[in-house]
Amino acid sequence: MGKRLEGLQRMLVIVNKLKGKQTYVSTEELERYVARCMENRGYAAKHLRTLQRDLENINELFGITITHDKLHGYHIEEQDEKLMERYEQLLLNFDLLNALADDNDLSSYVLAEHHRPLNSEWLPLLIEAIKHSHPVTFRYILVRHDNEMTEKKVLPHFLKESNQRWYLLAYEGDTLKAFGVDRIRELRVIDNESFKRDTTIDVRTLFNDCYGIWNQTDIPVENIELKYDALDGSFLKSMPLHHSQRIVVDTPEEFRVTLRLRITNDFVMELLSRSRSLEVIHPLHLRERVRQVYEEALKRNS
C-alpha cells in the first residue's frame, strides 16, 4: 500500500506543477520539482522512466493528457480549473495524512487536525479498484441501525470528499450509493473480476443541486435567501455555502445571499453551524424548520 500511496502522490505533484497559466515546463525543471516535492514527503527520487509511467497513469486515472515537446517540455493539453483545484486538494489531504507519521519531515511544520477520518488508508486501494474496474467487498457499519455490520459487494466508480470525510460512490445492484469510507471494514479488492465502468455518469453535475454527499432527488430544488451580519458575511465570502451562492447585499449592517439547492438535513445542519446571526428570509418553511430546531434546543438546555 505504501508504494501505491507514493505513486498517487507523485502523480498529483506532477499535475500540480503543470496546472496553471504557464505554457510549458522543461523536462529538467519538472524532474527537479518532482524530486524535491517527493523528498519533502519522505520518498527517494525516481528515475525519468518512472516519470514517463506516471504520465501514462495520469492520463488513465485522471483523464488528463500531458504532452511533451522536445524543445519546450511538458504541458497539459486542456485544463478544467475546478478539476485542477480538486486534485490540488487531494494532494493536500495526502500531505496531511503523511504529516501524522513520526518518520516524515512534514510533521515538523504541518499541524494536522486531530479528528483525522478513520480508515482513510483504504483510499489507495479504492482508487486502484476504480482505476482497474475491480469489484470490492467489505463489511459496512450501519450507524442508524445501532452500528449493525453488513456485508457489501459493490462496483466502485468514484471517491468524493465532503465535510472532511471521504465517501465511496459505488453501484450496489442497479443503484448508485454512497458509502462512508470511515465506516468500511475489511476491504478487499476482487482483482480476478472486472466490470464495465459506467462512463456516462456526469460527475460534474451529479452534486450540483445538493449540499454534502448525496443528491436526494425526491426533495425539490428551491430558491433560498439568507441574511447574516457583516462578521459572518466575511466568512461566507471566503467559504461560500454552495457554488450557487450569490451576494445580494454586502454592507456594514448586513450580508445577504441567495442560493439554489435542495434543502436536505445536511444543509440545515450547516446553516445551524453559523446560527449566531442567521435569519432565513425565504422560503418560509425553512425559516420555520430552523425556528423549531432552536425552540427544541432551548427547551433541552433551559
Please report, for the domain that includes residue 232, its CATH number: 3.30.70
Q: How far apart are CA 285 and CA 209, in angstroms?
A: 18
CATH for 159 = 2.30.30
Question: Is 212 within a domain?
Answer: no
Amino acid (1-letter code) at residue 198: D
Average pLDDT over every residue of 150-163: 89
Examine the domain organization and report whether 193 and 235 are in the same domain. Answer: no
Examine the domain organization and report whether 68 and 25 are in the same domain. Answer: yes
Question: Is 39 within a domain?
Answer: yes
Q: How far apart are CA 241 and CA 293, in angstroms?
A: 20
pLDDT, greater one: 3 or 195: 195
| Structural domain of 64 | 2-108
Alpha helices in the chain (DSSP H): 2-18, 27-40, 48-62, 81-99, 123-132, 203-206, 230-238, 265-272, 284-300
> At 92, phi and psi to the nearest 5?
-60, -40
Position 100 pLDDT exceeds 90: no
Amino acid (1-letter code) at residue 88: E
The domain tally of the chain equals 3
Question: Is 113 within a domain?
Answer: no
Examine the domain organization and report whether 8 and 102 are in the same domain. Answer: yes
Give percent of the chain above pLDDT 90. Answer: 37
pLDDT of amino acid 99:
47
Cis peptide before 283 (omega within 30 of 0): yes
- What digits encode the pLDDT tens for the residues 41-81? 677 766 666 777 888 887 777 777 888 888 888 888 776 66
- What digits encode the pLDDT tens for the residues 198-231? 888 887 677 888 887 776 778 999 999 999 999 9
Examine the domain organization and report whether 128 and 195 are in the same domain. Answer: yes
Question: Is 206 within a domain?
Answer: no
